[in-house]
Amino acid sequence: AQRVTQPEKLLSVFKGAPVELKCNYSYSGSPELFWYVQYSRQRLQLLLRHISRESIKGFTADLNKGETSFHLKKPFAQEEDSAMYYCALSGTSYGKLTFGQGTILTVHP
Amino acid sequence: DTAVSQTPKYLVTQMGNDKSIKCEQNLGHDTMYWYKQDSKKFLKIMFSYNNKELIINETVPNRFSPKSPDKAHLNLHINSLELGDSAVYFCASSHLGGGANSPLHFGNGTRLTVT
């Protein structure tokens, strides 16, 4: 079975502060991990995927297989980063994305 | 405008009614999905179709019946609506596998309220 856990339902930081959204997964195979984001009144959209090892909007996420984690980080949070963030895992079932519970990030001015 | 579009955006109905939500994608994807987001924002897959064939069918009541007339459309019909069906339903699409090389593209969601 595949499972994704985001321990923080709510996360508040001030503008300019570092932010880390935690994600842990459970999967017996080789996982593919993603972060999706949903801004207010917008559709859920892909933020980044571990395979790309890219930085999107200043966010990065490193897959740590030893700790089974895929935490999302940004060194300096901006107000426009306020959104709902979902960590997701794709296993062997075709297209079956398992989502975490989501973390609502609020960046205060 | 290439996207996943679903209608209606809002749906308010009474218990016991039957309703449908439509979804269409023009991204050329061969796989489509229905996800349910409950009141706690928990997002869970319900169904997945690849080229009109059902490939994922999670534990969902029989009152929910997806229909895919072609690979660009996946509709969701719900019979005998119950209060617990109130949620936001998201349609999504991808190339087969939905893996790292073909992430999911989501629609804007349909907020269903059952009274």
Confidence at B42, pLDDT banded by 50, 70, 90: confident
Q: Do A95 and B42 touch (CB under 8 A)?
A: no
Q: Is the peptide bond before A18 cis (omega within 30 degrees of 0)?
A: no
Suggest the residue from B33, B36, B43 to mutate for an interface test with chain A (most A CBs closer than 10 A).
B43
* Short-list A5, A98, A32, CA closest to B45: A98
First-residue to last-residue Cα distance in chain B: 35
Q: Chain A: residue nearest B95 by CA? A: A95
Nearest to B97 among A46, A52, A95 (CB): A95
Q: What would you report as the CA-atom Rg of chain B, rounded to the nearest whole angstrom?
A: 13
* Short-list A39, A31, A13, A43, CA closest to A70: A31
Mean pLDDT of A46-63: 87
CB A54 within 8 A of CB A48: yes
Rounded Cα–Cα distance for residues A106 and A17 (Å): 12
Q: What is the pLDDT of residues A81-109, one digit of tens each?
A: 999 999 999 876 666 788 999 999 999 99
DSSP letter (8 states) at residue B38: -
Reported as half-sphere exposure (CB side, CA atoms, 13 A), residue A32 has a value of 20
Chain B residues whose CB is inside 8 A of the A101 CB are: 40-42
Q: What is the mean pLDDT of chain B?
A: 90
Suggest the residue from A35, A36, A42, A43 to mutate for an interface test with chain B (most B CBs closer than 10 A).
A43
Q: What is the pLDDT of residues B71-86, one digit of tens each?
A: 899 999 999 999 999 9
Q: Is the pLDDT of residue B27 over 90?
A: yes
Q: Chain B: residue nearest A53 by CA? A: B100
* Short-list B40, B95, B44, CA closest to A97: B44
Q: What is the pLDDT of residues A2-44, one digit of tens each?
A: 899 999 999 999 999 999 999 999 988 888 899 999 999 888 9
